[in-house]
Amino acid sequence: MNDDLLDAVVVGGGPAGLFAAWRLAVGGARVALVEAGGGMRQSLCPRVTARVRGQTVRPAEKFRLQCERCDCLTGLGGAAFHFDTNLGYVQGLSRSKIETDGHGGVRSYSGLERVFGDFARAARAVDDVYRLMYGFGLPRVGGTALRAEQQAVPATAPFALADQAASQAITVDDALGMVDALTREAVDHGMRLYLGRRVDDVTDAPQGFTVRLADGSGALTTRSVVLAVGKLGLDWLRPLLQRLGVAHRPSRKVDVGVRLETDRDIAAPLTASCHNPKLTFINERDEPVRTFCVCEGGRIMQYEFAGTVVLDGQHCLTSPTQRTNFGIVSTVAVPETQDGTDHGIDFARRVNMAGAGLPVVQPLVELLGRGRVDAPVHSSLIRAAYTDLAAALGPQRVADIEGMVDRLAAILPDIVGPRTVVAAPVVEKVYPEIELSADMASNRPGLYFAGDCSSKIIGVTYGAATGLAAADAILRG
């Protein structure tokens, strides 16, 4: 391995890391991308096999079966592109989140707007990401395929915010072609690509940093480092922040909750004109409670995280199911004496303990104390415990679920019925709060954070936008 000085090393090959490395390479920087997993084809689920020629994933094998616990979340493309997913905001950025303003009112904002400090800059960044993805082969869609804002959520629906910004989906097939094209161009411009290499540590060096690879497989010296390790890098990154003296503090807020799953036809009025409606109300503690990651015709998946098991939604665009699921998450403001990261992990562990190490599923009517379901409980989770969730969630989270469901009943009259279940735990945005500039730079000169591990945002387009911002800052010197 060459040990000459690089301009930048990008750690992590998800959307944030890929776009950062590409922008650096085509901008003339000497850059290396280090990814713990393999190439995208090699790191796909064994049940999702790509044809040798072309980019097509065999539909007959795609989502017929599901592993009880997903471990195919590393590799080029990251967790986001290893399954069909939703990109969001194809016709323009919106302020899709709300919070109390401290004066009895509510204000809306965009997470990316908060990162960049300017809504116009955030909107341009999202446009730039789409322009690049189209250039790398993402098919353009238009008209009704975008499901732009129409009449899905009545104006009288009892939400503080009902955001229906048009979004675009992407299949694994299309992601394969896009990631291949992006990676190929970056390599053609000199990017060094290290696959199947975990980073053991990042340490100080006379001219910047030394990025040490695991198992004694070498080291890279570089002026700058972009860390884009995603959600699964939490356990590795937390002590690294301490060792490098990165300015940060315990997170004061964390998203915790459940996934609600019902029959696709029951949820149809919600998804009729928008892929991913974002509906929010403020609970009695002034905490936002919102829908999150709507997966029409999808599945619920589980994976290991920080020594526990958590859930996410899986889009099944190529081979849809007869079920729809979405998150109901509360942005919990933790007390000053607590660490939001630990609060989120502890929440997941309580649920896992109730399920004897498994996620827990319960009929919605039983969780809310509105009846019993004698028929077999139907869930897309392959392996889960079917038991009472209320004690593990706590009364406030149950109240939040009930508040969301009662509001949704104005749109989905059959949502509270025997076919609707609640699955837990869901935990999001659990990184410590890292002090970053609008260019994703930390207090350590040359050290940048992008994507989930920035602690600021989650999502494909947001992640890619932050990766590009970090790369641009490095190129400017």
Looking at per-residue pLDDT, the higher value among 375 and 241 belongs to 241
- Residue 133: the pLDDT is 96
- Residue 49: the pLDDT is 56
Report the candidate in 72, 68, 69, 51 with the shortest Cα–Cα distance to residue 60.
Answer: 51
Distance CA 79, CA 358 (A): 21
pLDDT of 470 > 50? The answer is yes
pLDDT in tens, 392-412: 999 999 999 999 999 999 889
List of residues 6+ apart from 243 with CB closer than 8 A = 201, 203
pLDDT of 310 > 80? The answer is yes
Looking at per-residue pLDDT, the higher value among 220 and 38 belongs to 220
pLDDT of 145 > 50? The answer is no
Mean pLDDT score of the chain, rounded to an integer? 89
Distance CA 238, CA 148 (A): 40
Give the architecture (CATH level 2) of 5-84+172-249+435-476: 3-Layer(bba) Sandwich (3.50)
What average pLDDT score do residues 211-228 get? 93
- Residue 50: the pLDDT is 52
List of residues 6+ apart from 96 with CB closer than 8 A = 108, 110, 161, 163, 165, 278
pLDDT in tens, 229-280: 999 899 999 999 999 999 999 999 999 999 999 999 999 999 887 888 899 9
Which of 84-88, 112-116, 215-219 is the most confident on average? 112-116
- Domain coordinates of the chain in residue numbers? 5-84+172-249+435-476, 144-168+252-428
Report the candidate in 323, 201, 225 with the shortest Cα–Cα distance to residue 265.
Answer: 323
Note if the pTM is more than 0.75: yes
pLDDT of 455 > 80? The answer is yes
| Local confidence band at 150 (pLDDT 50, 70, 90 cut-offs) | very low
Q: Is the peptide bond before 363 cis (omega within 30 degrees of 0)?
A: no
pLDDT in tens, 169-200: 888 889 999 999 999 999 999 999 999 999 99
